[in-house]
Structure 1
Amino acid sequence: MAVPKKRTSKMKTRLRKAQWKAQAKTEAAKALSKAKTVIKALLVENSQTTASNDQISS
């Protein structure tokens, strides 16, 4: 296992963690947006299918 030769400063550690968290936050926002888009598309598709079925049965 690799062992670091010097101790990493608190500033560098916190900077790295902050960058990682910021990137994770943007990726999470993208994923949520994509999920909302998919759900909306499914709802629209489902409502169109239901409407067409209602017209056929009428």
Structure 2
Amino acid sequence: MAVPKKKTSKSKRDQRRATWRRKAALEAQKALSLGKSILTGRSTFVYPSAEEEEEEES
């Protein structure tokens, strides 16, 4: 069974976790911003509305 040769230092572990958390926080911020812009109607994001979906299905 494969075993790591040396223990990873706490600082290296914390550094990796901080990077992961920073990326996750950035994506969450983008999602929240997109959601707010869609609700206010200022969005440049193109998404199908419920009316358009019903017309395509018929």
Structures share fold, TM-score greater than 0.5:
yes
Number of the residue aligned with 2:40: 40
Two-structure CA RMSD over aligned residues (Å): 1.7
Query: Runs of 5+ in structure 1 lacking a partner?
Result: 42-58
TM-score w.r.t. length of structure 2:
0.60
Q: Percent identity?
A: 51
Number of the residue aligned with 2:6: 6
TM-score w.r.t. length of structure 1:
0.60
Where does structure 1 differ by over 6 angstroms across 4 or more consecutive aligned residues? none
Aligned-pair CA distance for 1:6: 2.1
Higher helix share: 1
Q: Relative contact order (alpha carbons < 8 A, sep ≥ 6): 1 or 2 greater?
A: 2
| Letter paired with 1:4 | P
Alignment partner of 1:22 is 2:22: yes
Based on CA coordinates, which of the two structures has the bigger radius of gyration? 1
